[in-house]
Amino acid sequence: MSVQSNTSCFAPTRILTTDILAIAFLWCVSLTIVNPFGNFPLNDDWSYGLTVKHLIDKWEFRPTGWTSMPLITNALWGSLFCVPAGFSFNALRLSTLTLSLVGIFGAYALMRNVCQSRWLACIVALTLGFNPVYYAMSNTFLTDVPFTAIMILAAIFFVRTLKTESTLDLLAGTAFAVAATLSRQLGICVALAFAVVFLLKRGITTANLARAALPSALCIGALSGFQHWLAATGRLPALYYAKNADMLGVLLNPDWFLRVVPRNIYVTLLYLGLFLSPVLLFEVASLWARQKGKAITIFIASVGAVLALGRFLDGRTRLMPVLSFGILDKCGIGPFTLRDTFVVNNLIPALPAGFWWVITVVSVAGAALLITTFGLGAIGFAQRVRPSKINDSEAAAIFFLLSAMIYLLPLMIMPSSTSPMEDKYFVPLIPLLAGCIASVSSQLPRIDAKISRFGVAMLLCTFGLFSICGTRDYFAWNRARWEAVDDLMKSKPAKAGDIDGGFEFNGLYLYDSEYRKSYTKSWWWVQGDTYVIAFRPFTGYRVIMEYNYHHWMPPYNGKVVVLEKNPVEAPGR
**Structure confidence by residue, pLDDT tens digits, 333-388:** 999 999 988 776 667 899 999 999 999 999 999 999 999 888 777 666 666 666 66
pTM: 0.94
Contacting residues for 276 by C-beta, under 8 A, at least 6 apart = 127, 366, 370, 430, 433, 434, 437
Percent residues over pLDDT 70 in the chain: 91
Point out the least confidently predicted range of 65-79, 318-332, 339-353, 458-472: 339-353
State pLDDT tens for residues 83-105: 999 999 999 999 999 999 999 99
Q: Which class for 213: exposed (0-12), middle (13-18), buried (19 or more C-beta within 10 A)?
A: middle
Residue 11: per-residue pLDDT: 65
Please check the confidence at residue 290 and state whether its pLDDT lies above 80.
no
Q: What burial letters (b/e) apply to 417-428, b meaning 16+ CB within 10 Å? A: eebebbbbbbbb
Point out the least confidently predicted range of 276-280, 282-286, 476-480: 282-286
State pLDDT tens for residues 407-451: 999 999 988 777 788 999 999 999 999 999 888 764 444 445 566
Query: How crowded is residue 252: how many other Cβ atoms within 10 Å of its Cβ?
Result: 9
Contacting residues for 159 by C-beta, under 8 A, at least 6 apart = 110, 113, 114, 396, 399, 435
Residue 195: per-residue pLDDT: 97
Q: Which class for 60: exposed (0-12), middle (13-18), buried (19 or more C-beta within 10 A)?
A: exposed
Q: Are 19 and 118 in contact (CB under 8 A)?
A: yes
What band does 500 get if pLDDT is binned at 50, 70 and 90?
very high
What's phi and psi for 421, nearest 5 deg? -70, 140
Residue 217: enclosing H or E segment and its boundaries? helix 206-232
State pLDDT tens for residues 512-562: 989 988 888 889 999 999 999 999 998 899 999 999 999 999 999 999 999
Q: In whole numbers, what is the pLDDT of the chain averaged over residues? A: 90
What end-to-end distance do the CA atoms of the chain give, in Å? Answer: 83
Q: Write out 83-120 in H/E/C secondary structure.
A: CCCCCCHHHHHHHHHHHHHHHHHHHHHHHHHCCCCHHH
| Helix (H/G/I), strand (E/B), else coil: 7 | coil
State pLDDT tens for residues 230-275: 999 999 999 999 888 888 888 888 888 898 999 999 999 999 999 9
Please check the confidence at residue 564 and state whether its pLDDT lies above 80.
yes
> What is the Cα–Cα distance from 129 to 147, expressed in whole angstroms?
14
Please check the confidence at residue 114 and state whether its pLDDT lies above 90.
no
> What is the Cα–Cα distance from 340 to 249, expressed in whole angstroms?
33
Residue 510: per-residue pLDDT: 95
Q: Are 187 and 72 in contact (CB under 8 A)?
A: no
Query: How crowded is residue 545: how many other Cβ atoms within 10 Å of its Cβ?
Result: 17
Please check the confidence at residue 565 and state whether its pLDDT lies above 80.
yes
What band does 573 get if pLDDT is binned at 50, 70 and 90?
very low
Please check the confidence at residue 1 and state whether its pLDDT lies above 60.
no
What is the sign of the dihedral through the CA atoms of 288, 294, 297 and 298? negative
Residue 218: per-residue pLDDT: 98
What band does 7 get if pLDDT is binned at 50, 70 and 90?
very low
Residue 493: per-residue pLDDT: 78
Select from 124, 95, 90 the least CA-distant residue to 107.
124
What band does 2 get if pLDDT is binned at 50, 70 and 90?
very low
Point out the least confidently predicted range of 132-141, 425-434, 560-569: 560-569
Question: What average pLDDT does this structure show over 377-404?
Answer: 78
β-pair partners for 545: 562
Can you give the residue ranges of every domain in the chain? 13-473, 474-565
State pLDDT tens for residues 501-510: 999 999 999 9
> What is the Cα–Cα distance from 532 to 552, expressed in whole angstroms?
25
Question: What average pLDDT does this structure show over 463-486?
Answer: 97
Residue 361: per-residue pLDDT: 96
